[in-house]
Structure formats: structure tokens, C-alpha cells
A and B are shown apart, each in its own frame.
Chain A
């Protein structure tokens, strides 16, 4: 992904094919877009940049007719339009591939590509012609699968490519790709970029959204940056440095991350006392080999290892999400029996899982209601939480976590992904756990929110909470942790001092005796 980065000259000429002026959209409690201008020229790849919650998805959905705009004007091909449904946008030549694969997994690959424009013979769908046409499109994007196979039998990455095939199949004048690369591997991304360049050279206007800066710099000609629902500016990719881009996106200097590094290192865990968590010989067949683990109050313990090394499996045992088959767990020196998450919560253990969507935020309730549910659950139904305490706690956590909007009555489903993640954290924090387990809390969220979460972890530890921190990014684990437990092949292989260990130390530990499995890299 390094060749010819940023070197492409925008071949864009002439009038914009999409022109959006003064677009505003408001959801209850959230100003999703305020007076945003955006234009898309034919024959360019235009990256839409911004943090989570900046309004990228909203802008796209405004253009494709999923949301109706409150004010402003949209022109496609020079003519003012107001799409009420995605079908109308598609008819006008605007084709979209959304972040989540929006296909019907129960139908065949060919149907998913051509649904709604199947070739017909005498009024009836011509199955053979449909499969032939689908095969043509698939071949053109370098995907060799059987068009007659059911979509659900293919892995997500292939499904994502099928979604792109669908978008390509219509010869759209505008192609919108919202995070199309998040489930693709390097070869598939290269293939996608090849297709994008071909389409661009044919004059298609491509709107591209990605969290991966490398990819954005490789493929895009121009960028529009949004922040908090407002337009920051439009730039030529070749003229905007990464540092400038990032500060445009987050609106503050990057120095904060470094200050954080110093701050975390300044607190001291008292390891002479009884540990908050003491696990001995904890294990489960097929999940994790028996191991010992101590976590003290005020200490951050990082779990480092490759994907599948047993990081998540270990914490699932601690939380009772999987039932431990052997070993003992003590909390504050008292043995506890953890057979399910309720036992764990009762013992003061909280677990924010890596599966954010399944985490159990209730999307149709407000921030306040979600937090109250958690408080109430931790107290039992018979002891109501006093109203004043409720309001105090909610205000405290909204401020502490910088949840945006800072309105307790905003509905969860109107929040961005990063802010939903913060609410999940808040939800656990209101239960005031002794041990907080965070599994990949920073995955897929932007730099600004990442820094906030890291800072929060440091603050919580300084206040005496014990924390287990998991991240695929070793630097992150090392920066935040007092102690790092290194896992390989479902075994604990070492414990390091977080402050003195380097990424290289950990990597060589993992690589030693390793059976040649490749290191997992996280590209964000």
C-alpha cells in the first residue's frame, strides 16, 4: 500500500456532479450536521474525513435519501434533488456501499448483485442471464466465486466485495464507499483500489470514507474534513500533511497523547497489600491453560498477545461469561465462586467486552436511562436509587468521559460509535466496580476519543480501581500498564514491568518458540 502515494493528479474537470450547500440535520438532542457544504467532482476520489460523530455517515445518508435534510440544498448533476428513498438516489446514479454489509445473506450472490435490475425475458427473471451478468461483474473486480451460491456461505470480506460489485454493476456516476476496507485484507484492499482507480479514470466521482490514514493518502485526490457536524475545510490531499489533517479532524494539538504517557507513569500501585483479584490455576479446556493472575488496587495490568492467544478467553473466565473449569478466584482476599456474569458483577468485577454492539446498550433509551438501569441492577430492584444521587452520578460521568452531546436525555441510537463506547464505560463505572476489565476499548475509535479513554483509565487507577486492559496495539498496552502479562498459545509466558518494557521486548517474547504464526498488526 505504499506505491505512488498522493502522486495522482486529480483528473477532475468541470462542474461538480454532487453539490451540497448549507446542509443541516438535527436529531432529537443532537445537531448532527450544521450548515455543511460539500462538493464532489467527476473523476476524483474524495475522502470524507472526521472523528467518530463528526457527521460523515449523516452527510452520506443525507445524500442517499436515507435521512431527510432540515435545511440546505442538494444538487446532483446540476439539478436540485430531494431523495425520499435510497431507490431514488440510485435511480439518479448515486450508488452506495455502506459500512455494514447491507445485503440479503439469504439470497444468492447473483441476486444480491442484481436485485431490482435482474435481466428479464418475457417478464420473468432470466436466471441464466442473471448469473452470467453477475459473473461478469465479479470477474471485473477480481472476485471468483460462484454467483449461484448463497451469500451467507461466504466470509464477511467476500460479502463486502459483493456489495461493491453491486455498486459497480450499475455504472453509477457517483459511488459512495463508507468504510469499505474495514473487513478486507491487504490484497483485497489493493484490488479495491485498483477498481476505484479504473472507475475514477472513467469519470466516476467516488466518495471514500476510511479510518485508515494510509489508505486515504494512497487513494484520494481531495479531502473534506468535518468536525462535530461542521465543515472544517476542503483540501487537496497532496497539499495537506498528516499532522495538519489530524489537527483539523480533532481540533487540538497532538501533544495531549504525550502528556498522557507521562501522567500514567506517575502513579504507584501498592503491591504489598492483598490483591483486588487473585486467580490461581484458572483454566478451561479448549479455552485457556491454567494460569495465575494478580491485580492490585490502583494497578493497570495489560494483557499482550496475538489475536487468539487467549486474551479475551482469560477475561471471559474472570467475568464468568465462560464457566471456569478449574482454579480459584479471590476478590480482596475472599474466595468467590464465579459461574456467570451475575456472580462477577456481585463480586465487583465489570467487563466491557470487545463486542460493542452486543454489549447491551439499549439503543432506544436515553443516556440517562441506560445509566440508571446499570445503577439499579447493581443495587437490586428493591432499593431505589435516590434521584439526586442519580443526577449527580450521570452528570459526573458525562463530564468525565466527555460524552457528546452532554445531554443525558439524548437517545443512544443518535450517538456516534465512539460516544456509545463511552456510555458503555460509564454504564460500568456507575456500578463502582473494584476491578474493571476493558477488552479492546479503543478499537475503531478516533485518536481524540482514544486519548480520553486512556486518560480515564489512568485516572481510575489513580483513584484505586484495579484495571485489566486489553488492546491489539502493543504500544497502547505498554503506555498504560504498570504490568504486562504476555500470552501466547493460550498460556501465560511472561510478566513484564510496563514502564521499562519496550514493544520489541514483548514481540520477541511472543516470537520466541513461536511456531511461525504471523504477528497480528492493527492498521489503525
Chain B
């Protein structure tokens, strides 16, 4: 075989003149290509926020950003869990229903007079076990995650209705405290405990994804599951693990949502799993798996929230325009992803 490869001489790197030296095909740019999608989302967020600030009074303040976080803290947590799942190339449709179930379990337990800390543990355990079971079914029986979590979605929603078809309001002091309580940051910016929790979850998730073997295996499974298995990585544990994490995040989001709404309702969070998926995708994570960042998902949530806020500020547009914008944005991002993938191949 004669080489068809043209080995361009690169002076700096080699000491051995015989050894083939190859530079990566990508040209030197300021930003590594894998960060581009996140950067694009960030730019989009800045542009949208800038538009709002230019058009409306009182929009361009730090408190507006803080409010975005406050109003979407549960969605951030949900999107973080979803990011784990999507990074492996999977999907979790059950999370919206698990949020509803969590609010119901919390409201019902509090109504029954159980102590708040116990309720918190109970809710988190429920969601985690729910996710674990879904993960086990997906992994052991090698079933499409779409189908398993679709079943989980119906199941969790049904269980929520089983507790009560009526809305149950939450009167517990601790929960009300979490709801009303706030942290004042320098510059008189107020955020809720929910935001603190959401950002903590985000930080932990980023650490797990980038600095632990579990996290790197998540990316490896999303890149090529078969290869990851042949490389001797514990793909089974990771696959089960991501759905467990997603279940945990969904129940935590459910708690944040019950702080936010102060009620349990089986009709809460209908379709919220789709908002979470949209946020993850807009945040630059590939639906095929293997590439993406939780920070991107945070930006995705902020973009969604900004659209909502802009429409609220405008006042003349119907709130359905939110959906239309999100739809258009999602489409644009998926087409962009596809184009980027094509170019990479």
C-alpha cells in the first residue's frame, strides 16, 4: 500500500523525521468546535435579552435575569437530568409526570400531617426509584427508552390522579418558608432558595460529567455504545444511572415546583418534559448523544424563559406566540446541528 495521505511537515512538534505527523483537520480558531453550539445559545440569549432591554423599560436589569431563574428553577433541574439522558442518546418522557406526582405526594403527605423533611425524602426516593426502574427496564431488556419512558409518563400521571383528582394546597410552614424565602445578593438582587438549589445541582452535574469516570462514560456511550462496551467500560451501569439521575432530578424539580406553586395537582407540569427536551437541544446537546454541556441546558432554559418574558412585557401578543417561537427556534437548532454533523463527517 502506498500512502494517499499527504503528510505536511510541521516543524514544531516532532523530533523523529520518519514518524508521520498529522495536525487535526480543523483550523485553529479561538473556540474549540465542540463549544460552538453552547456559544451560539449564549449569543442568542444575549441578543434576545438585549432586544428586550432596548424595547421595554425595566427589562434590562439583573433582577430580570434573577426572575428568569426564579420562574424556571424547576425547569433547570429537570433539564440537567434530561441532559444526562440525552447525552447517552436516550430520552426521558416521564419527567413531567414525575413532577406532577411529586407535587401530589408532597401535598398529600403534608395534608396527612407528615413532617416536611420526611416528605422531602419520600418524594426524592419516589422519583429516584421510578427512574431506576425505567433505567433497569431499558438496559436489561434493551428496549427503546422512548417507549419505556412513555409508559412511565402515563403511569406517573395516573398515580398522581390516584392520590387525588383535585388540587391539594400546601399550608406547611417549611414549604411556605421555602416558597417565600429569599436570598439577597449584592446589588439588591433577590433570588429564591429554589434558584440556589437549581444552580447547585447544575454545578454538581457539571463536575460529575467532566471529572468522573461515570460522566466520561456517559459521553462515551452517547458517542458509540458498542465501542464503549468493547473498551471495557461499564455501559450498563451508566445507562441505568442516567435514568436514575433523571428520575431524581424530576422529583427534586417536583419539590421546587411545589415550593413555587404551593399546591399539589395531578395536572401540574403537563408537557414539561418537552420543555426540558427543548431546553437541552437549544442548549446545544446533540439528540444523538455524545456532545453537549449542562451549562448549555441552563442557557436553553434562559432562552425559553426570555421568550416568555418578552411576550409578557409586550402585552399585545397572545401567549401562544411563546410556543410558536420555541417551535421555530427548536427547528432551527436541530437543522444547525445536522449541518454541523454533516460537515464533521
Contact = CB atoms under 8 A, between A and B. Distances in A.
Given A103-B227, A154-B25, A191 B19 contact: yes
B24 interface: yes
Interface in A70-122: 85-87, 89-91, 96, 98, 102-107, 111, 115-116, 118, 120
Contact of B24 (A98, A149, A191, A518): A149
A135 to B, nearest CB: 11
A87 B232 contact: yes
B222 A106 contact: yes
B229 A85 contact: yes
Contacts of A155: 5, 22, 25
Given A116-B233, A123-B212, A185-B5, A106 B291 contact: yes
Interface stretch (B10-18, B54-62, B305-313, B315-323): B10-18
Ranked 4 nearest A-B pairs via Cβ: A104-B223, A185-B3, A106-B223, A153-B24
Interface stretch (A41-49, A139-147, A217-225, A266-274): A139-147
A123 to B, nearest CB: 7
B171 interface: no
Given A116-B233, A124-B207, 15 more contacts: A85-B232, A104-B231, A106-B219, A106-B223, A115-B231, A116-B217, A116-B231, A124-B211, A149-B24, A150-B32, A185-B3, A187-B20, A188-B20, A519-B2, A521-B2
Given A144-B13, A154-B24, A154-B25, A107 B216 contact: yes
Contact of B230 (A66, A91, A123, A143): A66
B230 A86 contact: yes
Interface string B105-122: 000000000000000000
B344 interface: yes
Given A107-B216, A107-B220, A152 B344 contact: yes
B311 to A, nearest CB: 36
B34 A150 contact: yes
A291 interface: no
A436 B2 CA distance: 31
Contacts of B291: 106
Interface string B1-42: 111110000000110101111111110000011100000000
B237 to A, nearest CB: 10
B223 A158 contact: no
8 contacts: A87-B233, A104-B223, A107-B219, A116-B213, A116-B232, A153-B26, A155-B25, A187-B18
**A104, A307, A519 pick with most chain B CB within 10 angstroms:** A104
Interface size class of A (residues with CB under 8 A): 35 or more
B174 interface: no
B24 to A, nearest CB: 4
A87 B219 contact: no
Nearest to A149: B24
Nearest to B233: A116
B228 interface: yes
A389 interface: no
Contacts of B1: 184-186, 189, 521-523
Nearest to A166: B231
A191 B223 CA distance: 29
A124 B212 contact: yes
B226 interface: yes
B149 to A, nearest CB: 24
A193 to B, nearest CB: 14
B216 A186 contact: no
A121 to B, nearest CB: 9
Given A143-B19, A191-B19, A157 B216 contact: no
B220 A115 contact: yes
Contacts of A363: none
A218 to B, nearest CB: 14
Interface residues of B, number: 44
Contacts of A104: 219-220, 223-224, 227-228, 231, 290
Nearest to B345: A152
Chain B interface SS verdict (over half)? loop
B22 A158 contact: yes
A98 B228 CA distance: 13
B234 interface: yes
B62 to A, nearest CB: 32
A125 interface: yes
A157 B13 CA distance: 19
B3 A154 contact: no
A325 interface: no
A86 B231 CA distance: 7
Contacts of B33: 150
B229 A86 contact: yes
A523 B1 CA distance: 6
A123 B24 CA distance: 31
Nearest to A185: B3
A497 interface: no
Contacts of A519: 2
Contacts of A85: 229, 232
B224 A125 contact: no
A124 B33 CA distance: 25
A188 B5 CA distance: 11
B216 A111 contact: yes
A191 to B, nearest CB: 7
A483 B213 CA distance: 60
Contact of B226 (A102, A116, A143): A102
A66 B226 CA distance: 11
Contact of B5 (A91, A120, A157, A523): A157
A162 to B, nearest CB: 11
A520 interface: yes
Contacts of A184: 1
B292 to A, nearest CB: 10
B22 A145 contact: yes
A106 B290 contact: yes
Given A106-B223, A125-B213, A144 B5 contact: no
Contact of A518 (B2, B212, B223): B2
Interface string B260-290: 0000000000000000000000000000001
Most B CB atoms within 10 A — which of A66, A107, A186, A520? A107
A153 B25 contact: yes
A116 B212 CA distance: 10
B5 A142 contact: no
B227 A102 contact: yes
A145 B24 contact: yes
A365 to B, nearest CB: 19
B77 to A, nearest CB: 23
A58 to B, nearest CB: 15
A235 B325 CA distance: 71
Interface in A339-363: none
Looking at B20, B23, B210, B290, which has the most chain A CB atoms within 10 Å of its CB?
A: B20
B3 A90 contact: no
A231 B216 CA distance: 41
Interface string B129-157: 00000000000000000000000000000
A185 B5 CA distance: 9
Nearest to B16: A142
Most chain A C-beta atoms within 10 Å of own C-beta, residue among B1, B25, B216:
B1
A123 B208 CA distance: 11
